[in-house]
Amino acid sequence: MSRKIAFIGLGIMGGPMAANLVKAGHHVTGFNLTQPPIDALVAAGGHGATGVADAVRDAEVVITMVPADPQVEEVILGEDGVLENARPGTLVIDMSSITPQTSVRVEAAAGQKGIRTLDAPVSGGEAGAVEAVLSIMAGGAAEDFAEAKPLFDVLGSTVVHVGPAGAGQTVKAANQLIVATNIQVLAEAVVFLENAGVDLRAALDVLAGGLAGSTVLGRKKANMLEREFAPGFRIDLHHKDMGIVTDAARAVGAALPVGAVVAQLVASARANGDGSLDHSALLRGVERLSGR
Ligand code: NAD
C-alpha cells in the first residue's frame, strides 16, 4: 500500500532512506535545512517542501532523521513543528539517535494531540541506508509498530520491536557503546601491527576470518588502511551517543568501566579537531598516544 510520508532530515542517512521509500512506491515529501538534498529527493521522484509544516500537513506518516535531541525537539515539539501541523491519527516515527527520555516526552506530547509515535533508531551506517539493510530497533505501541513494519522492511533487513517508547533508543545506546569500543580496539591493534612491522592488509584479512572478525572490522578496515576518514558516521555524533549511553547507564545503575574510557577517547578525538571525521578516525587518537 502506497503511503503519504513526510521525511524530515535528508542527510547522510535520511537522504538514501527517503529515496528508498520513493523507490518502493511511496509518496515522499522531504524537508531539510539545506536545499541540495531536497533537490536530490525530487530528482529521485520524491517531492520537496518549504518547511516542516508544509511537509507534514497532508502526511499519514512522518519520519524524522535529524542529528540529536535539540533538533528532534525543534522539529517535532517546536513552534510550527510536526505536532502543531500534523493531523490527528498521524504516525510520527523518529529514527534519529537521541536520549530515551526525549522519546518518552515526545510520545506524551504527541498523545495530547491524538498523534502516535515510535522511536526507531537504526544501525548499519551510510552503506546500510543506501543498500536498505539497516537494523531497526523500535520502541512504542505494538499496533503502531505493526503499521510501520512494511515501511521499516523497505529500509532495513533486521527490524525488531524492542519495547515501549524509549526502548528503541536504549538499544541504540548499547549499539553505540559496542561500536565505539570495537573501533577503538581495532585502531589499537592497527597501530600495534604497524609499529611491529607486520603487513597490515594481510594481518587484517586473516583477523577478519577468525574470532576477532566483526562487522566493524569488515566495514572500517578500508578506512584505516587507506586513511580515508570522510564520514560515514561523524565523531561528533558518536560523542553525542557516548553521552547518551553514559547517562542512561548511570540512571539504571549499570557500570560501564570500559565505555567510560572509550567515551573519553571519543571526546579527546573531538578536542583534537577530528569531530567532523568518520569514527574510524579514532585511529588518529591512538597514533597521537603512540607518539606518531
Ligand atoms: P547528517 O548531519 O548527515 O544529517 C542530518 C540532516 O538533518 C542534515 O541534512 C540537516 O540539514 C538536517 N536537519 C537538521 N536540523 C533540521 C531541521 N530543524 N529541519 C530539517 N532538517 C534538519 O546526520 P546523519 O549522519 O544522517 O545522522 C542522522 C541521525 O542518524 C543522527 O541521530 C545519527 O546519530 C543517526 N545515525 C547515523 C548513522 C551514520 O552512519 N551516519 C548511522 C546510524 C544512526
Tell me the pLDDT tens digit for each residue of 195-221. 999 999 999 999 999 999 999 999 999
Please tell me the distance from the alpha carbon of residue 230 to that of residue 242, in angstroms, as a whole number: 20
Mean pLDDT to the nearest integer, 125-133: 97
Instruction: Please give the biggest Cα pair distance in the chain.
Output: 64
The pLDDT value recorded for residue 119 is: 99
221 catalytic residue (yes or no): no
Domain 4-165, what architecture? 3-Layer(aba) Sandwich (3.40)
At residue 92 the predicted structure's pLDDT band, cuts being 50, 70 and 90, is very high
Grid look-up 524509549 returns: 166
Pocket test for ligand 1, best of 12, 102, 175 (most atoms within 8 A of CB): 12
Tell me the pLDDT tens digit for each residue of 218-240. 999 999 999 999 999 999 999 99
The pLDDT value recorded for residue 279 is: 98
The pLDDT value recorded for residue 195 is: 98
Domain ranges of the chain: 4-165, 170-289
Cα 291 to ligand 1 centroid, rounded to whole Å: 34
User: Does residue 251 sit in helix, strand or coil?
Assistant: helix
Q: Which atom of ligand 1 is nearest to the CA of 126?
A: 40
pTM of the model as a whole: 0.97
23, 172, 221, 240: the active-site residue: 172
Q: Crossing angle of helices 142-155/14-23, nearest 10°?
A: 90
User: Does residue 108 sit in helix, strand or coil?
Assistant: helix
Tell me the pLDDT tens digit for each residue of 15-72. 999 999 999 999 999 999 999 999 999 999 999 999 999 999 999 999 999 999 999 9
Tell me the pLDDT tens digit for each residue of 242-284. 999 999 999 999 999 999 999 999 999 999 999 999 999 999 9
CB 139 within 8 A of CB 104: no
Q: Whose CA is nearest to atom 11 of ligand 1?
A: 33
The pLDDT value recorded for residue 259 is: 98
Cα 233 to ligand 1 centroid, rounded to whole Å: 10
User: Who contacts 101 (Cβ-Cβ below 8 Å, separation ≥6)?
Assistant: 166
Nearest to 135 by CA among 117, 152, 118: 152
Domain 170-289, what architecture? Orthogonal Bundle (1.10)
Which three-class secondary structure string do you get for 206-269?
Answer: HHHHCCCCCHHHHHHHHHHHHCCCCCCCEHHHHHHHHHHHHHHHHHCCCCCHHHHHHHHHHHHH
Instruction: Quote the distance between the C-alpha of residue 3 and its chain's center.
Output: 23
Please tell me the distance from the alpha carbon of residue 162 to that of residue 73, in angstroms, as a whole number: 23
Q: Which three cell numbers stand for residue 72?
A: 528532534
The pLDDT value recorded for residue 25 is: 98
Average pLDDT over the chain, rounded to whole?
Answer: 98
Distance from the first to the final alpha carbon of the chain: 56
Pocket test for ligand 1, best of 7, 65, 137 (most atoms within 8 A of CB): 65
Q: Whose CA is nearest to atom 14 of ligand 1?
A: 66
The pLDDT value recorded for residue 43 is: 98
